[in-house]
């Protein structure tokens, strides 16, 4: 099957491959954009086609209103993705993106559609585990930013030091944390696909127990692997993480 070449604001494919055996959909962390995954096609098998998910309110969709609730986003994105789920596919999600991809997999199952052949979750507590408290999405901006830096080492210095960039960046971050902190997990049977979970050894926001708890969300195989680094270790091109992902796709 060939990849669709028409422009879709929700996703991009840096290297369309008519001979792809697997389509890997990559979902961003809170406040994240497609740039985090833009070079992954250079590191993964040539027959894996990488699709980068771009949510509203950031990047080239900056002027669009961001979602503030998971359920409408899951329903919308599931509908958007459906035409491109015409070959075997896998989901990769970083932090918030892992919860989003998990809920899309469950939505596909509710619709009796084919689900992912593999779910990759990175730096994200299992969905049935409680969100960190105190909640931060309604905090004043200075306190909100301080908590993001303390918990996740988030927000690059070049953005922190630029008031104009901060004002552009804040709405989607606050919207994403509103989604995360109002998310309500509902119990359903485990997924049929394998789940692989990746964590950072220096990630102070996510405990290993909360990563291990993803095991309860699959009736297939489960693997947890830890890597040097914090919540954003996967952005380090020197990390052995991408080689590990290569071996599993």
- Write down the catalytic residue from 41, 95, 101, 196: 95
At CA 75, angle to CA 246 and CA 176, rounded to 5? 70
Give kind and range of the element (H or E) at residue 12.
strand 11-12
Active site residue 220: no
Contact, 14 vs 41, CB < 8 A? yes
Peptide bond into 36 cis (omega under 30): no
Among 4, 2, 1, 53, which residue's Cα sits nearest to residue 24?
53
- Residue 249 and residue 138: Cα distance in Å, rounded? 39
- Residue 42 and residue 246: Cα distance in Å, rounded? 11
Among 8, 112, 96, which residue's Cα sits nearest to residue 51?
8
Q: Are strands 11-12 and 48-53 parallel, antiparallel or unpaired?
A: antiparallel
What letters, b where the CB count within 10 A reaches 16 and e where it falls short, cover 32-58? bbbebbeebbeebeeebbbbbbbbbbb
2: helix, strand or coil: coil
Q: Please, how many CA atoms are within 13 Å of residue 87, restricted to the half-sphere of its CB?
A: 18
- Residue 63 and residue 45: Cα distance in Å, rounded? 35
Residues classed as catalytic: 95
């Amino acid at each position: 099957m060939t990849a669709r070449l028409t422009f879709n604001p929700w996703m991009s494919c840096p290297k369309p491959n008519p001979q792809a055996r697997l389509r890997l959909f990559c979902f961003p962390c809170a406040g994240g954009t497609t740039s985090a995954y833009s070079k992954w096609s250079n590191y993964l098998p040539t027959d894996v086609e990488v699709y980068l998910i771009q949510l509203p309110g950031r990047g080239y969709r900056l002027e669009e209103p961001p979602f503030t609730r998971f359920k409408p986003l899951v329903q919308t994105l599931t509908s958007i993705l459906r035409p491109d789920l015409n070959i075997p596919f896998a989901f990769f999600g970083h932090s918030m993106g892992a919860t989003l991809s998990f809920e899309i997999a469950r939505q596909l199952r509710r619709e009796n559609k084919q689900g992912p052949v593999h779910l990759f979750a990175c730096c994200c507590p299992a969905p049935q585990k409680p969100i960190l408290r105190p909640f931060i999405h309604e905090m004043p901006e200075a306190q909100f930013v301080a908590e993001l830096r303390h918990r996740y080492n988030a927000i690059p210095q070049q953005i922190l030091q630029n008031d104009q960039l901060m004002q552009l960046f804040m709405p989607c971050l606050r919207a994403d944390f509103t989604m995360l902190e109002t998310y309500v997990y509902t119990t359903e049977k485990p997924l049929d696909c394998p789940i692989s979970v990746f964590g950072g050894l220096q990630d102070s926001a996510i405990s290993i127990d909360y990563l291990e708890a993803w095991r309860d969300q699959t009736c297939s195989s489960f693997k947890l692997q830890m890597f040097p680094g914090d919540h954003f270790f996967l952005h380090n091109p020197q990390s052995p993480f991408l080689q590990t992902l290569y071996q599993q796709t």
